[in-house]
Amino acid sequence: MGLTLEFDAAHRLPGYDGKCARVHGHTYDVEVVLEGPVDEKSGFLMDFYDLKRMMKSVLEELDHRDLNEILPNPTAERIAEHIKIGLENRILKTSASLISVKLWEGKNKWVMTE
C-alpha cells in the first residue's frame, strides 16, 4: 500500500557551488510504500487514516520550516532518510513494514530510500 502527502519547506546547501547554496523553497511530495500481512478481521494491511496520521506527525516537524535548522546539509537524500527513520519508529508498532520513502523535490526530481 502507499500514500503520498506534501509539505513546504526552505533550505540551502552549504558548500554547494550553484543557486542551491542560497535559501530557496520547495513543495515536497512524500510517497511512502508499505507491505505486510492483511488483517483477517479488518481486511486491511493498515487503515489509510492511520498511515496518514503517522506521516503527518513526521512531516509536521518539517513543514514550513528552514530545514537547515533540523538537518545538517539538508539534501533530498538526507531529508528522505530523516523521514524514513521517523516513520520506521512509528510503523514498528504495527504488522506493516516500510518498503520505501520517495521524496519529490519539485515536479521531476526525486530520491528514494529503501
List residues with catalytic annotation.
20, 64, 105
d(CA 63, CA 66): 9
Pair 23, 10: CB distance under 8 Å: yes
For 73, residues 6+ apart whose C-beta sits below 8 A from its C-beta are 13, 14, 15
Sole residue written with cell 500514500 = 3
Pair 69, 13: CB distance under 8 Å: no
Tell me the angle at which helices 76-91 and 48-59 cross, rounded to the nearest 10 degrees: 130
